[in-house]
Amino acid sequence: MRFRPRLLLRLMAIHRTLVRYGLDEIILATHLFRPLRFVYRLSPRNWRRRVHHLPRGVRIRLALEALGPIFVKFGQAVSTRRDLLPDDIADELVKLQDQVPPFPSEEFRHIVEAALGAPVGELFARFDPDPIAAASIAQVHGARLHDGSEVVVKALRPGMRDVIERDVEVLYAIAELAHRYWKAARRLRPVEVVAEYEKTITDELDLMREAANGAQLRRNWQGSALLYVPEIHWDLCRPNVVTMERIHGIHISDMDALRAANTNIRRLAHNGVEIFFTQVFRHNFFHADMHPGNIFVDVSDPEHPRYLAIDFGIIGTLSERDQHYLAENFLAFFNRDYHRVARLHVDSGWVPPDTRVEELEFAIRTVCEPIFNKPLKDISFGQVLLRLFETARRFNMEVQPQLVLLQKTLLNIEGLGRQLYPELDLWETAQPVLEEWMRERTSPRTMFTRLYQSFPEISENMQALPPLVSALIHRTSEGNIRFRVEDPELSGLRSDNARQHRQRYGAITGAALLLGGVFWLGMGIAPEWLGWGLGGAGVACLAWHRPR
């Protein structure tokens, strides 16, 4: 890896910031920077170092603010886990959620006018000069439309894209160094993790994408009593400016205000877990930046409080395969079926294929069994995470970069639950949601719906079969079919390929028979036994040719 001048300058700037806020000793105490201690102590800047009298938490917060948006986002994520932080640091990091120093209002106004192509006075009946909130990437001001609607206007901070690109370059440099010189890097896949993060943070810089995410979330939860998503005003949205309905509620972290409103805290915490699992598995479209600064509570009906969500820049989705394995893992975990958990980890490729399932089962049971039947307040997740990391290292469990966003969100949700209602039973709340989703996923109605949606593709494949069969018969009759002797590895690959083709054509045939039976019965054509026979043959064919 070659260090470019911009990268070296950024690393030096990070070092200066750490020294300025008296955090260099913390950083240099870590394993990665120990070789630099000697160079650091020779620095003339260190000879006349001043004593910093600000509290430790304040210095950490100020340093993260000075270092930029990626570091602020790290502080935001960590701030949701007060159980893993000293109180003085947690109290300060919470301020990073929406209390980052703002940039000048005149500059904000200029950005909005340049993006929307008109003076603010023409666009809005009222525009508030003081910001409502200032975060790491954007700033928000209140306004009123000419029709009387209350809205908020969000604009990106100036120069954000260059700042993000510069710091992502630093992350890549650290990840590549780790990949080259750290034995555990192959398992932790740091370069892939940074690449996944780069996609996420780059998407967050496009406010039109955020507006689209918000519109989709609003459709998903339209009419729900659990979550409300504000309306997007599309005419006032651009890649660096977004305008949406203004919501009014209590910050999720303001426990005093929630209690003063007689809010049913237990139900609120329960609903938060249900919302998360519904987004991940039923909608496959989840809000992945759920720190307290982005969540409010509508307490107009205190007994049935409703979440109010904002900031949709980071949205997560899963592949169907990952979704299935995760749901199976969760349910097996809830049922304490640790053998099933271990087997799923092997089948999904998350651990090496030669892993002994029984050994992995025993290790998972040892870590997880002590936390069942305990409320959140009695669980030391710091200890649980350490044990899980040890288990992962022992079995060479690879990090799945595509799941990092989900894991981060799950940690945020668990942290919120701990703040709201420490007696919350996460397992009891999540299990019914997952079980219902699995039942729906495997129901005959869902199967028929999927087959119906796939019928055009199945039909095309079926139309392609006769020419293929005819060509095969023709070549066979002319003696043009050749057989080759190959080495064992190539033979194995060919066998796998052939098996996949058999499964594919068997599935097509089974689907065709099943659809034929359904249409036969649906049309009311006699004899009915033929319809049932076709359907049964199709189901048997699908079962026989399912992937093993």
Strands of the 126-134 sheet, one edge to the other: 126-134, 138-144, 150-156, 241-245
Q: Clarify whether residues 274 and 407 are in a common domain.
A: yes
506 within a domain of the structure (yes/no):
yes
Task: Report, as an integer, the average pLDDT of 63-71.
Answer: 79
Q: Clarify whether residues 81 and 170 are in a common domain.
A: no
pLDDT of residue 13: 75
Q: Over 60: is that where the pLDDT of 55 sits? A: yes
pLDDT of residue 346: 85
Tokens (6 digits) for 260? 């003063």
373 within a domain of the structure (yes/no):
yes
Q: Clarify whether residues 298 and 390 are in a common domain.
A: yes
132 within a domain of the structure (yes/no):
no
pLDDT of residue 31: 46
pLDDT tens-digit readout, 235-289: 999 999 999 999 999 998 889 999 999 999 999 988 988 898 899 888 999 888 8
pLDDT of residue 99: 66
Q: Clarify whether residues 403 and 458 are in a common domain.
A: no
Q: Over 50: is that where the pLDDT of 51 sits? A: no
pLDDT tens-digit readout, 326-355: 888 888 887 888 898 888 888 877 788 888
pLDDT of residue 387: 67
376 within a domain of the structure (yes/no):
yes
Q: Which positions are annotated as active-site residues? A: 289
218 within a domain of the structure (yes/no):
no
Mean pLDDT: which of 68-77, 203-212, 323-332, 437-446 is highest?
Answer: 203-212
Query: Residue 306's CB: how many other CB atoms inside 10 A?
Result: 19
427 within a domain of the structure (yes/no):
yes
d(CA 319, CA 133): 34
Q: Clarify whether residues 196 and 292 are in a common domain.
A: no
Q: Is 393 helix (H, G, I), strand (E, B) or coil?
A: helix
pLDDT tens-digit readout, 373-386: 676 666 655 556 55
Distance set, CA 270 to CA 413, 417, 418 (Å): 11, 8, 11
pLDDT of residue 389: 60
What's the domain range around 183?
161-200
CA nearest 227: which of 188, 282, 175, 177?
282
- The model's confidence at residue 101, banded by pLDDT at 50, 70 and 90, is confident
pLDDT of residue 501: 54
Q: Clarify whether residues 510 and 395 are in a common domain.
A: no
108 with 139: CB under 8 angstroms? yes
Q: Clarify whether residues 36 and 169 are in a common domain.
A: no
Q: Clarify whether residues 347 and 427 are in a common domain.
A: yes
Angle 56-67/5-20 helices, nearest 10 degrees? 160
Q: Clarify whether residues 186 and 278 are in a common domain.
A: no
The enclosing H or E element of 133 equals strand 126-134
- pLDDT over 70, % of the chain: 66
pLDDT of residue 317: 87
Q: Over 60: is that where the pLDDT of 191 sits? A: yes
Say which DSSP state 230 is in. Answer: P
Task: Report, as an integer, the average pLDDT of 178-184.
Answer: 68
Domain end, chosen from 65, 97, 129, is at: 97
pLDDT of residue 451: 67
pLDDT of residue 448: 67
Q: What letter represents residue 3's amino acid?
A: F
Domain end, chosen from 97, 119, 138, is at: 97
Say which DSSP state 159 is in. Answer: T
Q: Which of 61-70, 215-224, 357-366, 442-451 has the lowest mean pLDDT?
A: 442-451
d(CA 507, CA 541): 7
- The model's confidence at residue 84, banded by pLDDT at 50, 70 and 90, is low
312 within a domain of the structure (yes/no):
yes
Please name the residue that has the structure tokens 């892993």.
355
Q: Clarify whether residues 380 and 477 are in a common domain.
A: no
pLDDT tens-digit readout, 462-487: 676 677 777 777 667 666 666 555 55
Distance set, CA 355 to CA 158, 265, 320, 344, 398 (Å): 51, 44, 25, 12, 13
Q: Clarify whether residues 400 and 416 are in a common domain.
A: yes
Q: Over 90: is that where the pLDDT of 183 sits? A: no
pLDDT of residue 385: 56
Number of domains the chain contains: 4
For 86, residues 6+ apart whose C-beta sits below 8 A from its C-beta are 57
Written as one string, the DSSP assignment of 15-73 is: HHHHHHTT-HHHHHTSGGGGGGHHHHHT-HHHHTPPPP-S-HHHHHHHHHHHH-HHHHH
User: pTM for this structure?
Assistant: 0.68
269 within a domain of the structure (yes/no):
yes
Sign, CA torsion 239/240/246/247:
positive
Please name the residue that has the structure tokens 């055009």.
456
d(CA 396, CA 373): 30
Domain end, chosen from 97, 128, 148, is at: 97
Looking at every residue in the chain, the average pLDDT score rounds to 76
Q: Clarify whether residues 421 and 291 are in a common domain.
A: yes
**Is 505 or 176 the better-scoring residue by pLDDT?**
176
pLDDT tens-digit readout, 86-97: 778 877 877 776
pLDDT of residue 542: 45
Q: Which of 5-14, 89-98, 182-191 has the lowest mean pLDDT?
A: 182-191
Task: Report, as an integer, the average pLDDT of 152-181.
Answer: 81
